[in-house]
Amino acid sequence: MLTKAPHLFDDATRGTAGDSRWQGQTSQDYWAFVGPFGGVTAATMLRALIDHPQRSGDPLALTVNFCALIAEGDFDLDVRLVKANRSTQHWSVELTQGGSDVTTLATAVFAERRPSWSHQPALFPPARPFEQIQPYTKIAAPWIRQYDFRFVEGDPDFSGAKNPPASAYSKLWICDRVPRKIDTLSLMSMSDAFFGRVFHARRELVSFGTVSLTTYFHTDTEELAAEDISRVLAVADAKIFHKSYGDQSGELWSPSGRLLATTTQIAYFKA
Residue numbers at the binding site for its own copies (CB under 8 A): 60-61, 63, 65, 67-68, 82-83, 85, 88, 90, 92, 94, 101-103, 105, 107, 109, 111, 113-122, 165, 167-168, 201-202, 211-212, 214, 216, 218-220, 237-245, 247, 249, 251, 259, 262, 264, 266, 268-271
CA atoms 177, 238, 196, 170: torsion sign? positive
Quick one: 138 or 270, whose CB is closer to its own copies? 270
Quick one: 3 or 264, whose CB is closer to its own copies? 264
* Shortest CB 78 distance to its own copies, Å: 12
Dist. CA 33–CA 129, nearest whole Å: 31
Looking at residue 243, the DSSP 8-state letter turns out to be: T
Half-sphere exposure of 212 (CA within 13 A, CB side): 6
Quick one: 186 or 248, whose CB is closer to its own copies? 248
- CA 154 to chain centroid, in Å, comes to 19
Quick one: 11 or 101, whose CB is closer to its own copies? 101
Dist. CA 196–CA 208, nearest whole Å: 7
* Shortest CB 117 distance to its own copies, Å: 4
Quick one: 177 or 268, whose CB is closer to its own copies? 268
Quick one: 134 or 163, whose CB is closer to its own copies? 163
* Shortest CB 223 distance to its own copies, Å: 8
Nearest of 47, 265, 26 to residue 143 by alpha carbon: 26
Residue 111: Cβ within 10 Å count: 17
164 prior amide bond cis, ω within 30: yes
Nearest of 71, 79, 134 to residue 103 by alpha carbon: 71
CB contact at 8 A, 103 and 96: yes
* Shortest CB 105 distance to its own copies, Å: 5
Find the helix or strand (DSSP H, E) in which 83 lies.
Answer: strand 74-84
| Amino acid code (one letter) for 132 | Q
* Shortest CB 21 distance to its own copies, Å: 17
Dist. CA 14–CA 37, nearest whole Å: 15
* Shortest CB 169 distance to its own copies, Å: 8
Quick one: 25 or 212, whose CB is closer to its own copies? 212
* Shortest CB 55 distance to its own copies, Å: 16
